[in-house]
Structure 1
């Protein structure tokens, strides 16, 4: 866990409502996973699983 936190500052942190809204907006604008990882300081799995939870759709880009 410490290694993930060192790489991704928000790893294992709770998603806020504001984070969710921003993620959905950026996702709808076609942002790539790598861009979202940088914006939210979270790993690929965290981004993909949150999008799945919020939209019910897998994210493949």
Structure 2
């Protein structure tokens, strides 16, 4: 299986946190968000919809399953 990132080359940075907050604000969401929070939510949603933990681990870019 070949996995493709939705946002190519998007990695954690203070600038990306600012961009994410701008997107959230533009969507009318008032909750404080961070890059890490988006990653956590993404992983949780994947697991709750039946994606196996190995696949979620790889989607998150983790080298070891125990990190996930």
Give the alignment's TM-score, normalised by structure 2.
0.44
- Structure with greater contact order relative to length (CA < 8 Å, sep ≥ 6): 1
Q: Which has the larger radius of gyration?
A: 2
Between Structure 1 and Structure 2, the one with more helix by share is 1
Give the alignment's TM-score, normalised by structure 1.
0.48
